[in-house]
Chain A
Amino acid sequence: MEQKTKIHAEDGKQELVITREFDLPLELLFKAYEEPEIVEQWMGTKVLKLDNKKHGGYQFETSDAHGNVVFRANGTIHEFVPNQKITRTFEMENTPFAVQLEFLEFEQLTGDTSKLTMHIVYKSIAQRDQVLQMPFAQGINMAHNRLQNIVNKLK
């Protein structure tokens, strides 16, 4: 079965490209990025701010079951063209990772399918590779640092 989400990360480059085809019309795909309530649902995070316009910005926050904040991220929006593109920065707060630059392009494929291309540029090759290695833990859920700790101990 062909994978719907693809990642292209060349060795020795400080960028990567994520592509995904959706069984959704372009407008609905874009709406999932535009409406804070919907972003909250699929990103699994609280949206504190989402100001979709040039010179706008956003702020996300995730808490664990005890109410402790385990993840905070923010960014500035540079371009916001409905059903076409979003250009923004992304910064994870209280982490050693530098801000990254994201180019999101939305395309219509057919009447009810669409495609997202997410081009991410990192500060350095080393940072890109670190970010790539991190989410094994994150993908499971936010409050599960145990596995990551074990992996880190092996390094």
Chain B
Amino acid sequence: MNLRRDVFQAIADPTRRAILLLVASQALTAGAIAANFDTARPTVSKHLQILTECELLEQKQNGREIYYHINAKKMKTVADFIEPFRQMWDERFNKLEAIMKNYQTKK
């Protein structure tokens, strides 16, 4: 899929946000990143591909290994927008909805 990806679509996924968080503190290889998740390796690779396509992550060759770095400049544009705030509320409300649907069926 070579469509230009949207940064906000990229950070809409909790696993991708967790990856950004992980790489924020230090550059890591795909293997080291995948080791932090229960998700299958190809799924993590797919997430890395999306984050790279949106330029939130950058790949740098170091010997035989490829390390993923966070692209701080791109991250700043994300942080300046309203979208993260909206997503925070969206997640809370999704949770509320799920809890109350369950509450409804229990009654």
A and B, one complex? yes
Q: Which residues of A contact B (CB under 8 A)?
A: 3-7, 9, 18, 20, 22-25, 28-29, 31-32, 38, 41-44, 116, 131-136, 138-140, 144, 146-147, 150-151, 154-155
- Say whether B99 contacts A139, CB under 8 Å: no
A151 to chain B, nearest CB (A): 5
Q: Which residues of B contact A31 (CB under 8 A)?
A: 100, 103
Q: Interface size class for chain B? A: 35 or more
A32 to B98, CA, bound (A): 11
| B12-41 with Cβ < 8 A to chain A | 14, 17-18, 20-21, 24-25
Report 26 cross-chain contacts, Cβ distance below 8 Å, ordered by A residue: A4-B93, A5-B89, A6-B86, A7-B82, A7-B86, A9-B82, A24-B101, A25-B104, A31-B100, A32-B100, A38-B100, A38-B103, A41-B95, A41-B99, A133-B85, A134-B85, A135-B84, A136-B79, A136-B85, A139-B87, A140-B14, A146-B21, A147-B24, A150-B75, A151-B72, A151-B75
- Say whether B92 contacts A22, CB under 8 Å: no
A43 to B89, CA, bound (A): 10
Q: Which residues of A contact B86 (CB under 8 A)?
A: 3, 5-7, 18
Q: Which residues of A contact B78 (CB under 8 A)?
A: 136
